[in-house]
Every structure is written in C-alpha cells, then in structure tokens.
Amino acid sequence: MIGALLLLPALLGPKVGGAAAEAASAGDVVEAVPTTVYLAPGKLLEVPVKAWHLRYRSTSATGAANIVSGTLLVPRSAHSLGKRPIAGYAVGTHGMGDQCAPSAAMARGTEAELAIISLMLLKGWAVAVTDYEGLGTPGDHTYMVGVSQGHAVLDSIRAAARVPGAGLSANAPVVVMGYSQGGASAGWAAQLQPSYAPELRLKGVAAGGVPADLLAVGEHLDGTADFGLAAAAGAGLDAAYPELSLNSHLTPEGAALFAEARNACVADLRDRLAGRRLAELTTTDVMHLPEWQARLQENRLGASMPRVPMFLYHAKGDEIIPYGVGRTLRDEYCAGGAKVLWAGLPAGSHVLGAVEGAPLAVGWLASRVLGLPVVDNC
C-alpha cells in the first residue's frame, strides 16, 4: 500500500517507452516500502530508525540501465546541524544469492555490519545501504565488479534524497564508507563521482581492506581456504561481461561448483571451495586470457584520482587481501595527488581489521562532515 506512493514508475519499469521513461535517470526511486530493521534474529532488538526497502535506478559496468535494491535508514531524532548528512555504506562480501543481500539480513536481524552502521546513525546521519547489482534483484550478482558497485553506491545516495517522507536533501553533505568488497566499492564511488555523480556534495571516503587489484588478490587466494571468494569474483565478472564466457572454460566439476557458487552465501562459498585451485576447475588459464586481462585492468583501482579526501586502512595481518595490495593503492593515489590518510592497523586478520578500523573511519568521516582541516600522510 505504501509502495503505491511510487507506483507509477514501478509499473513503467526501465524498458517502457514514452516521456516518463525518457525522464528516468540514475538514482530515481522505483519503489520505497517502509521496513523494520533488527539487530538480532527472531525480530529482536528493533533498530529505532525510520527505514525503507528501496529499488532504485542505477547503471551496470557496461553502461546499461538497471535496477538495484537497498535499504535506507534515517534516525528518528531531528538533526541539529542543518541538512542531515547522508552516508553511503558499502557492505563487505555477503555472497551471490538474493537471500544473502544485506537488506534481507537486516530484516532478519542477522546483519553483522549493523554494528558499524549504528556508529553513523548515532551521529544523526541517514545511511543508504546498497545491495549491489543482482543481489536482491533479478540476474546474477556482479560481485567485485568495481564500476558497477561504485555506481550502485552513488545511486543509493541519490535515491535516499528522493524518498518521500525521508526528509533528506539532495544538497546534504555526503560521505561513503566500506570494507573489503565494500572498500573496493567505496574506492570506486570516490573515483567515479566526479564524472558520474558530480552533483553530490561528497566530503570524504573511507575504504578499508581494499581488494584494489583483483588479479593480485585472486592469485593470492588460489589454493587457500578462501579460494571461494576468488571463484565468486570470477563469476561476478562473467555476469557483468558476457564476452568472458566463463562456462566455456570450465571442467564439468568446475561448471557444477561455479553454478552452486552463484546462489551461495559467503560461508558456503568458503566451505565448498576451500583449498581448490582455479587450474583444477578450468581448461584454460582464464585469468590471463586477453579479454579477462582487459576487464580485470578496467576494474583495478588507482588509475584515476579521487577529488575528495580518502582514509585508507588495512590490517597488517590480513590473510585475505594482502597488505601490499592496500599499500600499493595508497602509493598510487598519493603519486596522483590525492589527499590520503593511510593507517596500517596492527590487527592480525581481515575481520579484525574491520572491527579495529571502523571507529577510526567513522570518526574521520565526522571530521569531513564538520569541515575540519584535512590531514594526509602521503
């Protein structure tokens, strides 16, 4: 019933001709339905916010119009310092199946990253959480395709400001944060914003545990307990770029395992593919085929410079995303003239890096919202 507020664009859809379709643009809200978000399973510990489950227009990695889902959370208390800031929060790896989407997890009370999101809500910020392309909407999730993920983050912020009843402004100060897959998404949002969403008043971007170079990360994960994450990235790239034709390079066992991966959440991805190697599941050195190399390079962070200050953080003991991958991104941004504050964290694992870095990142973003002087350590 509430979704009827936006019934017309929802009925028109992305493929309908006419003036209404022509007027549609990235960030437009297709549907906004009030929802409830919980901190614990069993619908326990309701998060005291106004929340909407969204479907909004965005853009694929190849420039095609698509529709992405997400959740918008807005504190119930008034914001005392002018327009309420909007934070685009990019989640880490959840999996490939629609049931893994953060919107679904928040509604079930199983979203671990709500602990980090709550740090932003406590500051009075609205938080837009994208599900990314194909995670909660038809089609395969384009996992780790940075261009698509950056678009989804930026358009979630645009959509937030267009939700009736949310009380948000298109001129609000904006920040972006993410870790792991979310760190890559945040980095891509920073790089794409000047050309893709120049109207957003982006003040700063915090990105942690960033898998900036998919080839380097994939080679590192080959044969490890976390090979499933690399396999999922291969499936995500294949979903975004049909010319990669992953299935034509898979063995029968590889085809079966990758088919399962396309519907699995992160725990199953890791369990089913732990210790495997890409060479065991393929008939070709896929990662070094020219078409794969081109798309991997296209989705490698660091080729263009963000125009906003960046806070990059990485656990020195990260076993999933090598510390050197994050450090290289920092060096490339610094060499290109970006303003970067870098923090090498003493944490001994990828997950602990998220826990240790989150309060630092939110505190740094708060200083950007307040307009305090930018400090970098390039």
Output the CA–CA distances (angstroms, integers) from residue 240 to 150, 290, 303, 350, 357, in the order listed: 14, 16, 20, 27, 31
The H or E element that residue 126 is part of is strand 126-130
Residue range 226-253: average pLDDT?
Answer: 97
Residue range 100-121: average pLDDT?
Answer: 97
- Structural tokens at position 221: 């994960």
What's the CATH fold of domain 214-298?
434 Repressor (Amino-terminal Domain) (1.10.260)
What class does CATH assign to 2-212+300-369?
alpha beta
SS3 string, 213-237, reads: CHHHHHHHHCCCCCHHHHHHHHHHH
pLDDT bucket at 21, cuts 50 / 70 / 90: very low
Where in the chain are the domains? 2-212+300-369, 214-298
pLDDT at 16: 29
Output the CA–CA distances (angstroms, integers) from residue 37 to 52, 72, 105, 113, 218, in the order listed: 9, 10, 9, 12, 34
The total of other beta-carbon atoms located within 10 Å of residue 194's CB is 15
140 burial class (0-12, 13-18, 19+ CB within 10 angstroms)?
Answer: middle
Please report the DSSP string for 219-286 in residue order. Answer: HHHTTSTTHHHHHHHHHHHHHH-GGG-GGGGB-HHHHHHHHHHTT-BHHHHHHHHTT--HHHHBSS-G
CA distance 19 to 39: 43
Tokens 């008043």, located at residue: 201
For the cut 70, the answer to whether the pLDDT of residue 2 exceeds it is no
Biggest CA–CA distance in the chain, Å, is 60
- Mean of pLDDT over the chain: 93
For the cut 60, the answer to whether the pLDDT of residue 23 exceeds it is no
Residue 335, C-beta contacts closer than 8 angstroms, at least 6 positions apart: none
Residue range 179-194: average pLDDT?
Answer: 98
Pick left, alpha or beta for residue 357 (phi over 0 → left; psi -120 to 50 → alpha; otherwise beta): alpha
The H or E element that residue 157 is part of is helix 146-160
* Cβ atoms of 100 and 31 closer than 8 Å: no
The pTM of the full predicted model, rounded to 2 decimals, is 0.93
For the cut 90, the answer to whether the pLDDT of residue 350 exceeds it is yes
User: Using the 8-state DSSP alphabet, how is residue 287 labeled?
Assistant: G
Handedness of CA 348, 353, 357, 359 (dihedral sign): negative
- Structural tokens at position 343: 């923090």
For the cut 90, the answer to whether the pLDDT of residue 79 exceeds it is no
